[in-house]
Structure 1
Amino acid sequence: MSIRTILSADHAELERLCADMIALVDRPAPGDIAGIAALRWQLARRITAHLALEDEYIYRPAADGTLPRLGAAAAAVKDELGELYAAYQAHIARWPGYRLTADWATFRAEATALLARLQARIRREDAELYPLLPE
């Protein structure tokens, strides 16, 4: 199985997790708080594992010239990487269960915006970066 196939499968799983989280927060009032907590940690673990794969098979080879086709595209996409992941981690820290039930509307808006950014990032990698990977 190629790294492109593995990374694409990871993206499909990340998209599924994002959709599941959006479904949980797309409610006028808090519902399954335990489910939200579990899902956001599952999403954080999957993102961490995925980023490690991308670093090993995309960003390092692009930087060291092993995969020169990835160079400029990888650099452009990687620039967003640290900030987006830091924003996700900060979001989790900022919203413990008791706080998100107390201010559901703000949590919901922030979570939805962050998940949309993550989904856009996934689509951008799929469109601009992954086609440059060897099959």
Structure 2
Amino acid sequence: MNLDKYRREHADIIRHVQELKKLTALGIAGQAAAIAREVIAMSSVIKLHLSVEDRFLYPALQEAGAALAAKGRQYQEEMADIAAQYGRFSRQWNDAQRIAEQPEGFRADANRVLKILFDRISRENRDFYPLIEAT
């Protein structure tokens, strides 16, 4: 199975996370509009990525043998919680005025949710995708 598309989307998501870090370092309140735009842009990539995984990757893994099917179900179930957390984050922080009014709330949520997202992407790239390719 060719996972290059998934890896490219992961790299795109990580670029958005890095851009949010840069904007935050410049000052949350002053960069609120750019931060909100970045959250919206990243959300589009994440929604597309999750949709493609659910429609193609995970169903294909169900046909790839019991061990890989079980691992795929585990990753999919874990992702449901991460996606819900990210969804709440993106709905809360896609508004520049809200970000400007609550910069420390944004910072706390971003640090928590984006770390979870980054860790998950890293684990998929390091552990899950090589397992799929080896099968």
Pairing partner for 1:90 from 88, 100, 104: 88
Task: Report the Cα offset of residue 111 of structure 1.
Answer: 1.0
Query: Is the CA contact (8 Å cut-off) linking 1:25 and 1:112 kept in structure 2?
Result: no
- Residues 28, 35 of structure 1: alpha-carbon distance in 2 compared, 3 angstrom cutoff: closer
The gaps in structure 1 that reach 5 residues or longer are none
1:75 lines up with 2:64 in the alignment = no
Deviating above 4 A after TM superposition, structure 1's stretches of 4 or more consecutive aligned residues are: none
Q: Aligned runs of 1:4-83 on 2, under 5 Å? A: 4-27=3-26, 29-63=28-62, 66-68=63-65, 70-83=68-81
Q: Return the structure number with greater relative CO, CA threshold 8 A, min gap 6.
A: 1
Q: Deviations over 1:67-87 (max 9, x none)?
A: 225212212211121221121
Using the aligned pairs only, state the percent identity: 26
Q: SS in structure 1 opposite 2:29?
A: coil
Look up the equivalent residue of 2:52 and give its one-letter code. L
| Alpha-carbon separation, structure 1, partners of 2:71 and 2:37 | 34
Cα RMSD of the aligned pairs, angstroms, is 1.9
Task: Report the Cα offset of residue 93 of structure 1.
Answer: 2.3
How many corresponding residue pairs?
Answer: 132
Look up the equivalent residue of 1:40 and give its one-letter code. V
Task: Report the Cα offset of residue 92 of structure 1.
Answer: 2.4
- Residues 29, 16 of structure 1: alpha-carbon distance in 2 compared, 3 angstrom cutoff: closer
Deviates more, 1:89-98 or 1:108-117: 89-98
Q: TM-score, normalised by structure 2?
A: 0.85
Q: SS in structure 2 opposite 1:101?
A: helix
Look up the equivalent residue of 2:12 and give its one-letter code. E
Task: Report the Cα offset of residue 39 of structure 1.
Answer: 0.7
Look up the equivalent residue of 1:109 and give its one-letter code. A
Look up the equivalent residue of 1:131 and give its one-letter code. P
Task: Report the Cα offset of residue 27 of structure 1.
Answer: 4.6
Task: Report the Cα offset of residue 119 of structure 1.
Answer: 0.5
